[in-house]
Amino acid sequence: MNILLCAKQVPDDAVEVSMGADGKPAIDKIDKVVNAFDTYALEMAARFKEAAGEGEITVLCVGPDDAKNGLKNCLAVGGDYAYLASDEAFEGSDMQGIASILKDAIRKIEADKGIAFDIVCTGKEATDMALGQGGILLADKLGTGVITNVIAFDTDENGVSAKQETEEGYRTVAADLPVVLTISKPDYDPRFPKIKAKLAARKKPIEAVAADALSDEGKAAAGEGNAKLKILRSYEPPKKESGVKIQEESDEDSALAAVKMMTEAKVL
């Protein structure tokens, strides 16, 4: 089974982002990490591969040069190969643009290696802009089916069967291979890299994909000039003012003081 994982580099989601003096979100100083949902997808793919006893996982990112660090981390926790699609021409792409670049990069990797990917995994959404569109747009461009919000999957001779999380439970969804799966948070966490795996990952190459891999369709979609959704401005939402803190002699007293205030505020 050949699995391709789309992994986006995003600012660490544990850090609160504020606006910078230049009128843009101040993300430059925040550590970059692999999008949380993409790490869940990688863990799910790695477990699938381990259970099957065969298969390879290729990780693909569209992003700036420093996204290599994230890709190295992916190689340390289950990824076998990593590709970075980086080019000035890709900058400022909207999601349709990114999906086109991903598609052309996938086709190029397949052609270069003489393989075909059976399963393409994306995250359910990226933690920066949280569009939740990447996997669905990519499936459309690849001409495959897509199963969203997946928390478990397996394959058999008929294709793939996936457990899709819903608001009230789950659906079992089946599709032929190849397929795109968008992965949600399963009830386990991604593994931590072992030191040996980390050292080995550092030595592995990160292959480059550049703008010359783009098809005509890709050229027409990639880059800021082709973005259909144009961002006008960013700003911080009005902050909620913090109120009073209660810390009496004992927790019991604090509780009583709080209830008194809540009664006065008529919220009970």
Ligand X SMILES: Nc1ncnc2c1ncn2[C@@H]1O[C@H](COP(=O)(O)O)[C@@H](O)[C@H]1O
Calculate the alpha carbon distances from 130 to 36, 170, 227 in Å: 11, 22, 17
Burial tier of 199 (Cβ tally within 10 Å: 0-12, 13-18, 19+): exposed
Subset of residues 73 to 112 that bind other proteins, contact rule: CB under 8 A: 94-96
DSSP letter at 18 equals -
Options 52-60, 84-92, 101-109, 222-230: segment touching other proteins (CB under 8 A): 222-230
Subset of residues 25 to 44 that bind ligand FAD, contact rule: CB under 6 A: 36
Total number of residues that touch other proteins (CB under 8 A):
78
Calculate the alpha carbon distances from 234 to 14, 17, 28, 97, 224 in Å: 20, 12, 15, 21, 17
DSSP letter at 127 equals T
- Is residue 151 at the binding interface for ligand X, with CB under 6 A as the rule? no
Please choose which of ligand FAD, other proteins, ligand X, none residue 141 contacts, taking the beta carbon within 5 to 8 angstroms, the exact cut-off set by kind.
Answer: other proteins
Rank residues 9 and 206 by Cβ distance to other proteins and give the closer one. Answer: 9
d(CA 103, CA 142): 6
Subset of residues 7 to 36 that bind ligand X, contact rule: CB under 6 A: 7-8, 35
Question: Residue type at 134?
Answer: G
| Residues 163 and 150: beta-carbon distance below 8 Å | yes
Binder among 32, 107, 136, 211 for other proteins (CB under 8 A): 136
Mask for 151-190, x = binds ligand FAD (CB under 6 A): ----------------------------------------
Rank residues 109 and 121 by Cβ distance to ligand FAD and give the closer one. Answer: 121
- Is residue 23 at the binding interface for other proteins, with CB under 8 A as the rule? no
- Is residue 53 at the binding interface for other proteins, with CB under 8 A as the rule? no
> Shortest distance, CB of residue 202 to other proteins, whole angstroms?
30
Rank residues 21 and 166 by Cβ distance to other proteins and give the closer one. Answer: 166
Q: How far is CA 198 from the centre of its chain?
A: 21
Beta-strand relationship, 119-123 and 159-165:
unpaired
Subset of residues 162 to 191 that bind other proteins, contact rule: CB under 8 A: 165-176, 179, 184-185, 187
> Shortest distance, CB of residue 35 to ligand FAD, whole angstroms?
8
Binder among 92, 132, 159, 186 for ligand X (CB under 6 A): 132
Q: Which of 204, 93, 77 is nearest to 85 (CA)?
A: 93
Backbone angles phi, psi at 184, to 5 degrees: -100, -170
d(CA 83, CA 92): 20
- Is residue 13 at the binding interface for ligand FAD, with CB under 6 A as the rule? yes
Q: Which of 249, 227, 255 is nearest to 99 (CA)?
A: 227
Binding site for ligand FAD (CB under 6 A): 13, 36, 127
